[in-house]
Structure 1
Amino acid sequence: MKLSKFDIGAEVISILTRGMYQDPRDALREYVQNGIDAGANDITIKVRQNTVAIIDKGLGMDYKTLRKAIRVGISDKDPKKKVGFMGIGIYSSFHLCDKLVIYSHKQDNPPLKLEMNFATMRDTLKAQRQLRFEDRLDSDELIDLQTLLENCISLTDEGTLTDEDFPSIGTRVELIGLDGNFLNLLSNFASLSNYLREVVPLHFNKDKFKWAGKIETQIRKICEEHNSKFQLINLSLQVNAISENLYRPYVDSDFTNDISNEPIFKEISRDDVFLGVVWACLNSDRKKIPNRDLRGFLIKKQGFAIGNRDKTAIYFKQRTHFDRYVGEIILTNPLILPNASRSDLEYSQYSMMFLEILAKDIAPYYNQTSIKYQERELADIQISDFKDYLNNLNLKYKRDEKDAKVLVQYIVELNDKKSEVQNKDKNASLTEFQRMNFKKLMDSADV
């Protein structure tokens, strides 16, 4: 069956982008993602008045590459190696701004400028809908996608711009004329920075998180042992007068008493198939992580968040221990892919393998670790209480006591307390250090 360009209506671009990028901040994530795919280690986002600029120091694009970037649903990127591969991300700001302008400069090539007039596209579609509503436009007269894009996209010819126009190697993406409905969200530094800290592959903050260096080093070590890639970038955010280098959101103050337990790592693998690695820090007491937004485990694929932490909570059955952790499940296997909106994983043999491991291995392991820690902490409290009780009992008991009833009561009470701690030891919850302390206390008792 032969088809024509009129078989694909222009409305599809509006439907796709609204459905895939429901949070306006997702568009910035997409452009950061493109920068990483271009080899950028340093990316800057600037928000000023009604304009957003995303600047990366990647390889830049030549004419052929930038021309191909216009295509819808077609990408030359290898999904096993690149973060983005759907061929739609460039249009992620379709509903956010009036115009998208991209400057790109590749080594030994002239700089280029691509301009997409989203406002004109939206106005065209809006007018078309109104005519349809009034029965003044037949379906055969609807504008097709190709014509809409041809009318609203321009790409400079090679040589039109010089190095003086855009001297830096890399790419600059500008969202011009932000929609007022989204301006407040995108110009709110706290909201935007919190979002980016969570979803982008940033470094851990070594100044504010005790275990930052150890986590980065250990994850990289495990990945290298399996010939897998763990990539991190430097991201600077400037919103009007506020500017800051961003890191992952984890800081010591997110834990009770400003300290967490040492990170616990676990490889995700089966039958010599390496899928990724988990890291998690358990709260320093038997309480939930104070920061509700960071409780539990976040899935990340190639550093970018997949859904939110609630997505993994169901595999832990009860949230009691889940909420006492802060951690990430970092998937690096190239055969596990995210869905288009990055809200979940695409169905595949390997994603199903991962979810089975999560339910049967990862969740039980971290649940049990939390349970053992809880029992040891309770044992510490019980030993401390026993020590206080013993001191009080010895104060009450006289060494020259002659009354047999008093002596028997002392022995009974002492043995009752001793049994409580020994029962904990039977459950294998006491450490050697705890056993030693308990023995010293018992030896000090005059029974």
Structure 2
Amino acid sequence: MDNRTIQTKIGKDVIDSITLSMYEDPRIVYREYIQNSADQIDIAVENGILEDYENGIIEILIDKNNRSVSIEDNATGIESSKVENVLKNIAQSSKKRDKNKGFRGIGRLGGIAYCDKLVFETSFKGEKVKSILTWDSLKLKQIINDRSKNEEATEVIDLVTNVDIVDENENAHYFKVTLRGVNNESLLSVEDVREYLSMVAPVQYQRHFIFKDLIYEQLKNENITIDEYNIFINNDKLEKVYTTSIYEGIGHEKKKIDQITELKFFPVRDIQGDLLAYGWYGISNFEKQIPPVNIARGIRLRKGNIQIGTNDTLIKFFKEQRGNNYFFGEIFILDKELIPNARRDYFVENESLKKFEIELTKVIKEPLHKLYYFASNVRSASKKIEQLNSFKDEFEKKSNQIGFSNKEEKEKYVEKFEQLKEKAIQGEKELKRLQERIGNELDPKNKIFENIVVVDTVVDNIKIESEENKDKKVKYSTDDLSKLKRDERKLMSKVFGVIDIVLTPDLAENLKEKIKTEFR
């Protein structure tokens, strides 16, 4: 016998939890509406409403002057008889967890937190009407903030929503959501929204990314298809902003510091050999961590080609936290049991996730750590040889053109050259050891080594003229002081020596040159 006497109620605060307090970054609402539109485009293609995916369009219009935002698709629309059931009911989506991108039935309400009114307009092909359902966001916030009353969630929803039916062309099919009276500036910034969606939304790689065809070809060879849709922001097509060049600085000070030279592709399989995910990352010289100005930095997780979390989500899989910021890359989730959580910042905890994390750690932790450390070691060893070559040029310029201040300065140069040569010999040996660690031509370390090691000289053959021709007369700075007598030149040589000690090399050379100009 059932002895319960109290009827279960769901309070109004649940609406706050899934709308007003759901997301940290307001721009996430764009992602929510895009994934809903993408699901409906899938259905529209399956049902023949759209001929193919190229005909599907998701259009975002941002009107900052009128503080309005709209997201519209030309997919299935919603039948008028189902509008209230679909757009008023919460967490009662009929979508499939293992197939659809959005399936919980809460994302469509995300915009409520950031506007005065949230308006849904939709028409279903074959119906001569358009349904308009409006959520009064201001009224909703007032009711939730009124702590003197304890309304139920369903009661509140009925109080803040309104449905209108108007005439429409029977061939029309679309769904449009409009945020009126937007109260968040980032939602109204075309630049901010484009930057965010360029890495989050399921779109094509930008046309100038030279590796895009290679990615498509590799995925095709693996029988993997990634979802891509035509998305426009204020009539400009949205694309993923991957680049081959790596920059630092901003504005006029922006400069190229590195470059992606090839891609490494990798599967993530479980112990049975089943494919859980497939990914790629870029190989560069790994000069330094990729600066934040490069929007695409980091290896990104994608499910249905929509980003999961942020560029930092995979940090925990790296040996060092900074490791993720040495790479551009993507991991496409293929296992149906890897299900995004409600916030879409990671996955639902289950056995599939545990398996995935174990295998992903194997792919990322040690292999990628070894790559950028290998690059660092190659660069360090190669630099020792480059420094010797550079100093050799400086010595010869001093010996043949500028002249040494005195014998002491010349002896210091010779001593420094010998020290640098000793280090260069060590660097040469280290490069040979590092080269022996390269497995084969397909090993990413091979490309790194080729890109960094530009010095092709045997260190033992790098010599200065004083070693090769000891009888050659050495030039001194005072040799050009034709106006001075021999004793005066000797004195000036001592003065030059003091200048070398007191001033930095650049300042010392400038001052000595000024003095030489006076006494030539």
TM-score normalized with structure 2 length:
0.68
Question: What is the alpha-carbon distance in structure 2 between the residues aligned to residue 412 and residue 339 of structure 1?
Answer: 59
Q: 1:324 maps to which residue?
A: 326
Question: What is the alpha-carbon distance in structure 2 between the residues aligned to residue 221 and residue 297 of structure 1?
Answer: 22
Question: What is the alpha-carbon distance in structure 1 between the residues aligned to residue 5 and residue 99 of structure 2?
Answer: 33
Query: What are structure 2's unaligned runs of at least 5 residues?
Result: 43-55, 248-255, 398-416, 439-445, 469-520
* Matching of residue 214 in structure 1 with residue 214 in structure 2: yes
Question: What is the alpha-carbon distance in structure 2 between the residues aligned to residue 368 and residue 121 of structure 1?
Answer: 54
Pairs within 5 Å for 1:144-159:
144-156=152-164
Aligned-residue sequence identity (percent) comes to 20
* Matching of residue 77 in structure 1 with residue 85 in structure 2: no
Partner secondary structure for residue 116 of structure 2:
strand
More off after superposition, 307-316 vs 332-341 = 307-316
Question: What is the alpha-carbon distance in structure 1 between the residues aligned to residue 362 and residue 286 of structure 2?
Answer: 26
Alignment partner of 1:235 out of 231, 236, 244: 231
Pairs within 5 Å for 1:100-119:
100-118=118-136, 119=138
Q: 1:174 maps to which residue?
A: 178
Once the two structures are superposed, residues 171-207 of structure 1 have per-residue CA deviations (whole angstroms, 9 ceiling, x without a partner) of 11111222x3x1x221112222111112212211122
**Structure having greater relative contact order (Cα 8 Å, sep ≥ 6):** 1
Partner secondary structure for residue 268 of structure 2:
strand
Q: 1:27 maps to which residue?
A: 29
Q: 1:247 maps to which residue?
A: 239
Question: What is the alpha-carbon distance in structure 2 between the residues aligned to residue 442 and residue 347 of structure 1?
Answer: 57
1:305 partner letter: Q
Query: What are structure 1's unaligned runs of at least 5 residues?
Result: 133-141, 396-409
Alignment partner of 2:431 out of 421, 424, 436: 424
Partner secondary structure for residue 314 of structure 2:
helix
Once the two structures are superposed, residues 104-158 of structure 1 have per-residue CA deviations (whole angstroms, 9 ceiling, x without a partner) of 233333443131323333333334x2x35xxxxxxxxx3222222233334456x
* Matching of residue 54 in structure 1 with residue 71 in structure 2: yes
Structure 2 vs 1, CA of residues 373 and 220 (structure 1 numbering), >3 Å: closer, same or farther?
farther
Kept after mapping to 1: 8 A contact 2:219/2:225: no
Question: What is the alpha-carbon distance in structure 2 between the residues aligned to residue 353 and residue 123 of structure 1?
Answer: 46
1:25 partner letter: R
Structure 2 vs 1, CA of residues 331 and 3 (structure 1 numbering), >3 Å: closer, same or farther?
farther
* Matching of residue 124 in structure 1 with residue 143 in structure 2: yes
Larger Rg: 2
Structure 2 vs 1, CA of residues 176 and 322 (structure 1 numbering), >3 Å: closer, same or farther?
closer
Pairs within 5 Å for 1:37-436:
37-39=39-41, 41-48=56-63, 49-70=66-87, 71-118=89-136, 119-127=138-146, 129=147, 131-132=148-149, 142-156=150-164, 160-163=166-169, 168-178=172-182, 180=183, 182=184, 184-207=185-208, 209-222=209-222, 224=223, 228-238=224-234, 244-255=236-247, 256-257=256-257, 259-270=259-270, 271-291=272-292, 294-378=296-380, 380-381=382-383, 384=386, 417-418=424-425, 420-427=427-434, 428-429=436-437
Kept after mapping to 1: 8 A contact 2:258/2:286: no
Equivalent pairs, count: 407
2:70 partner letter: A
Partner secondary structure for residue 171 of structure 1:
strand
CA apart distance, 1:231: 0.6
Kept after mapping to 1: 8 A contact 2:186/2:192: yes
Compute the RMSD of aligned alpha carbons: 3.6
Kept after mapping to 2: 8 A contact 1:197/1:248: yes
Structure 2 vs 1, CA of residues 110 and 385 (structure 1 numbering), >3 Å: closer, same or farther?
same
More off after superposition, 424-433 vs 364-373 = 424-433
1:344 partner letter: Y
Structure 2 vs 1, CA of residues 236 and 254 (structure 1 numbering), >3 Å: closer, same or farther?
farther
CA apart distance, 1:248: 1.5
1:339 partner letter: N
